[in-house]
Amino acid sequence: MTIGEVIKKYRRNQGLTQEQMATRLGVTAPAVNKWERGSTLPDVALLAPIARLLGITTDELLSFQEELTDEEISQYLSQLQKDLESKDFHEVFLSVKEKIKEYPNCEKLIWQAAVILDAKRMTMELPDKDRYDDVIFGWYERCLLSADEHIRDQAADSLFHAFIRKENYEKAAQYLDCFSLENPERKRKQALVNSKTGRRAEAYRAYEELIFTGYQHIQMVLNDLRILYMEDGDHEMARKLVKTSSAAASAFEMGRYNEVCFGLDVAAWEKDAAWTAQLMQEILDSIGTIGDFTRSKIYQHMTLKTLEPDFSADLKRELLRTFADGAFDYMRGNEAWESLRRE
């Protein structure tokens, strides 16, 4: 903000009229009016008295601040979007440049203003939209140095997709280093570059690996959430999440065994003998499908380890021992369970 804008804002915050402020400072009301309109500037000798009167520091009065507040940024960006609907793009672009000059270290403002201008020019019939590349991309580049990981990632994402649109895949790939190796977005973006540069087998494999690891992550989260609901005694949600886990296993073609194994902990928690017996039998009957995902076409470009020939037999023996455990004592008298124990 300009000095005039600061004076106007904080004068109003203090509940003062221009006349009241002028009286307290020993100046005329028109002088205050001219400060606020930006026609003139206060005398240097008045800066400290003005700041004291307004309850701010002289740095704030002179706008020596690196950041705008989140509220101020939100208000500015809202007005920016309105201006883009009613004013000439280049005119608005120049006004944003001036705003960023005023707050050159306000990374959130720079990043979000760049995104808004970048997106708007892509949807407009501008004959020379590429003329803005250097400035907008320069703003993104500045944000790559931010201490805020979210801002860095978003800026890198914008630059990556900008060069993908331009079919400059080599340049786009340079921004992959801005993402951590653990970030799945890095792998997905690399797969996109590979798909555009003739390395399609690598792209297929990377996408499939993302699906496979994504499925595993989903099931871990569903399991943790199910346990949380069980701890809080919510039977309806615990059962719902069993169905969700089963549906996910089916959708990702993980095999029948992986579709039926999720409910056993809930059945045991509820001491539901009939459901427990049903699940135990379904689990045992589907052991042979535990590795079906290795034959799914969804993962056909991945190298998946096949199960050893005796794996199913070993697993069945282990499951039968588990089913006979004391945790299932509530099953005593259930004919199906008693039969399993004798196997």
Domain count, the chain: 3
DSSP assigned state of 14: T
Question: What pLDDT was estimated at residue 3?
Answer: 85
Q: For the segment 74-89, what is each residue's pLDDT rounded down to a tens digit?
A: 999 999 999 999 999 9
Is 80 exceeded by the pLDDT of residue 122?
yes
Report CA-CA distances (Å) from 157 to 48, 225, 333. Answer: 45, 31, 61
Least confident of 50-64, 226-240, 251-265, 306-320: 50-64
Mean pLDDT of the chain: 92
CB 22 within 8 A of CB 28: yes
Can you give 144-194 as a three-state secondary structure string?
CCCCCHHHHHHHHHHHHHHHHHCCCHHHHHHHHHHCCCCCHHHHHHHHHHH
**Is 294 or 125 the better-scoring residue by pLDDT?**
294
CB 89 within 8 A of CB 121: yes
Question: What pLDDT was estimated at residue 306?
Answer: 85
For residue 26, the tally of other CB atoms under 10 A from its CB is 8
Residue 210 phi, psi dihedral angles, 5° rounding: -65, -40
Q: Which domain holds residue 32?
A: 3-61
CATH number at residue 20: 1.10.260.40
For residue 303, the tally of other CB atoms under 10 A from its CB is 7
Among residues 61, 87, 111, the one where a domain terminates is: 61
Residue 37 phi, psi dihedral angles, 5° rounding: -85, -10
Residue given tokens 């579709």 in the structure block: 259
Tokens coding 48: 């400290």
CATH number at residue 294: 1.25.40
Q: Distance between CA 84 and CA 117 in Å, rounded?
A: 8
Give the rounded percent of residues in the chain with a pLDDT score beyond 90. Answer: 76
What pTM does this model have?
A: 0.74
Residues 99 and 188 in one domain: yes
Among residues 169, 199, 229, the one where a domain terminates is: 199
Question: What pLDDT was estimated at residue 59?
Answer: 76
Q: Report CA dihedral (169, 215, 148, 78) to the nearest 10 degrees.
A: 80
Q: For the segment 2-16, what is each residue's pLDDT rounded down to a tens digit?
A: 788 889 989 999 999
Question: What pLDDT was estimated at residue 104?
Answer: 83
Question: What pLDDT was estimated at residue 241?
Answer: 97
Residues 49 and 123 in one domain: no
CB proximity list for 200: less than 8 A, separation 6 or greater? 194
Residues 337 and 300 in one domain: yes
**Is 63 or 18 the better-scoring residue by pLDDT?**
18
Residues 227 and 173 in one domain: no
Question: What pLDDT was estimated at residue 65?
Answer: 54
Residues 167 and 223 in one domain: no
Residues 37 and 78 in one domain: no
Among residues 134, 166, 199, the one where a domain terminates is: 199
Q: How confident is the model at residue 117 (pLDDT cuts 50, 70, 90)?
A: very high
Helix, strand, coil % in the chain, rounded to nearest 5: 75, 0, 25
Give the rounded percent of residues in the chain with a pLDDT score beyond 70. Answer: 98
Q: Distance between CA 115 and CA 24 in Å, rounded?
A: 45
Q: Phi-psi bin for 255: left (phi > 0), alpha (psi -120 to 50), beta?
A: left
Residues 158 and 226 in one domain: no
Residues 195 and 206 in one domain: no
Q: For the segment 151-185, what is each residue's pLDDT rounded down to a tens digit?
A: 999 999 999 999 999 999 999 999 999 998 889 99
Q: How confident is the model at residue 63 (pLDDT cuts 50, 70, 90)?
A: low
Decide: residue 46, CB within 10 A, 0-12 exposed, 13-18 middle, 19+ buried: middle
Q: How confident is the model at residue 44 (pLDDT cuts 50, 70, 90)?
A: confident
Tokens coding 222: 């569903």
Q: Distance between CA 338 and CA 315 in Å, rounded?
A: 19
The DSSP secondary structure of 274-329, one letter per residue, reads HHHHHHHHHHHHTGGGTTGGGG-GGGTTS--PPPPTTHHHHHHHHHHHHHTSGGGG
- Residues 319-325 have a mean pLDDT of 89
Residues 329 and 303 in one domain: yes
DSSP assigned state of 44: G
Question: What pLDDT was estimated at residue 66?
Answer: 54
Sign, CA dihedral 234-239-244-249, equals positive
Residues 179 and 158 in one domain: yes
Residues 244 and 330 in one domain: yes
- 308: closest CA among 290, 284, 296? 290
Residues 206 and 187 in one domain: no
For residue 302, the tally of other CB atoms under 10 A from its CB is 17
